[in-house]
Structure 1
């Protein structure tokens, strides 16, 4: 990626970033034909307009699910995701709003059930991050916003969804490799992702008797809009190169982890976290 490409990328002035402005464009399309593993199911995917959320929503659609795509305000990206879902022969519902607001999460669940007649899979994926060189630069506002979106957005959605989930349902939370090894520039973000990890473990135990599985996915360096929206060009230039595989991952390399946990292939998984991170050994 040359400097001319970097000039065109999203800057860190806007979160969570716009995929249609990224160069190169992330790889989000599924790699293989579907096999009906989510046929007749309904899924909610937050942050579904772009990045890992988009790749997951499209993969779910290819496997037969109807998908409610929840996003903040990235209308163009969300519409593109809708087109791709419908091209797979599935139905899409776009829901615009802030997952950090409990009332909006209630609206998401209500509208999804009204549109599709039920709810089977919840992918709590939306998040934000703000790089700071010095911990003392993390303002009270930033700290609360990060936790409100990352942890609160997942907690509220799960709270609202639970009364409508039955045995066999799957909840999947996006945590991060930073929950395990930290990140010098993202102390508040890493902390929020650690809280999500603890939530997965607590909820899985709580809901196991009801037959509802709760798992997580902890991506490593994945090429999504959040990266150029968070870091200066020099950091973006080298993004992912320090991973054992020597490159950043693509959203369509992460989405299959969500599919596995959502469908019957993952029926004996609960309280677990999958690690698509390019070889970073964590979690011991």
Structure 2
């Protein structure tokens, strides 16, 4: 008979959840923006089924933006399972944010929810203040809030859309880092969410791809700057490929939603819980010699 799995060994394939392929999305529908995860017809896999924690973040405090759903929710759950106290920042979907809080608490974790708009520097400062007052400090900042809208031509990108995209995806990251940095110490981490399209480009997401390319450059520049400071804070980015989150049915054309993930080597989109371990790695001491890195988690959607 086969040996029983030993603690610490990887889970067998039989115990892993089924992952929807691009073919499974052929009947998927779009949703009005801002889309709610609770209303998606194919639910994102973000509950970390089968995740095996190892106390990698015990005693740490993490603040995660854009964490009401999708990747941010999965990261919040992973961090809580690893022992961190979590604060999640979101902008619009109260129900999704409350569900994230409940899911963290169901797993024995602590979760502070903060409703704020990262485009406002004062709101970013206040979010950090609330987190520090609640938990007594801050060790990990995850910049994950994002906005995107598709347009066939650059001529169709309004000034309002351009400002919202850049102010959410780039200004908001800078404002959050400025607010968090005075509280971070050696060994602490900043993790930005970039995107593979920030390297490949995307003809329907011109302003979004530009903002993501800016995040990649910001990550590298701050890694160089902070590495020379006494605090030695590490700055890295995760670059997802196509991942099934509320942003997809909420912002993409129907024809794209109904074949989502078709272009990657694995023939399917990623799920939020497949991204979370990358954020755990970059937050914990396993990555103590990693800074300025752009960690690709793309399912084989390559930049070249």
TM-score range, shorter chain: over 0.9
State the TM-score, normalizing by the size of structure 1: 0.95
Aligned-residue CA RMSD (Å): 1.2
The one-character-per-residue Cα deviations of 1:239-276 (angstroms, maximum 9, x if unpaired) are 11111110010000111110000001111100001111
1:253 and 2:280 equivalent?
no
Aligned with residue 127 of structure 1, among 140, 143, 146: 146
The one-character-per-residue Cα deviations of 1:41-98 (angstroms, maximum 9, x if unpaired) are 0000000110000000000000000100100021100011001111121110000010
Aligned with residue 251 of structure 2, among 230, 234, 257: 230
> Counterpart of 1:177?
196
Q: How does 1:1-284 map to 2 (within 5 A)?
A: 1=24, 5-6=28-29, 9-11=30-32, 14-15=33-34, 17-30=35-48, 31-209=50-228, 210-282=231-303
Q: Distance in 2 between matches of 1:194 and 1:97?
A: 24
More displaced, 206-215 or 37-46?
A: 206-215
The one-character-per-residue Cα deviations of 1:102-154 (angstroms, maximum 9, x if unpaired) are 00000000000000000000000000100001110001111111000000111
User: 2:263·2:301 contact (CA, 8 Å) conserved in 1?
Assistant: no
CA shift for structure 1 position 32: 1.9
Count of residue pairs brought into register by the alignment: 278
Q: Distance in 2 between matches of 1:222 and 1:32?
A: 18
Q: Distance in 1 between matches of 2:90 and 2:213?
A: 23
CA shift for structure 1 position 29: 1.8
SS at match of 1:167: coil
Unaligned runs of 5+ in 1: none
Unaligned runs of 5+ in 2: 1-23
Q: Distance in 1 between matches of 2:280 and 2:26?
A: 36
SS at match of 1:274: strand
User: 2:28·2:258 contact (CA, 8 Å) conserved in 1?
Assistant: no
User: 2:196·2:239 contact (CA, 8 Å) conserved in 1?
Assistant: yes
User: 2:53·2:82 contact (CA, 8 Å) conserved in 1?
Assistant: yes
CA shift for structure 1 position 4: 5.9
Which structure has the larger Rg? 2
CA shift for structure 1 position 231: 1.2
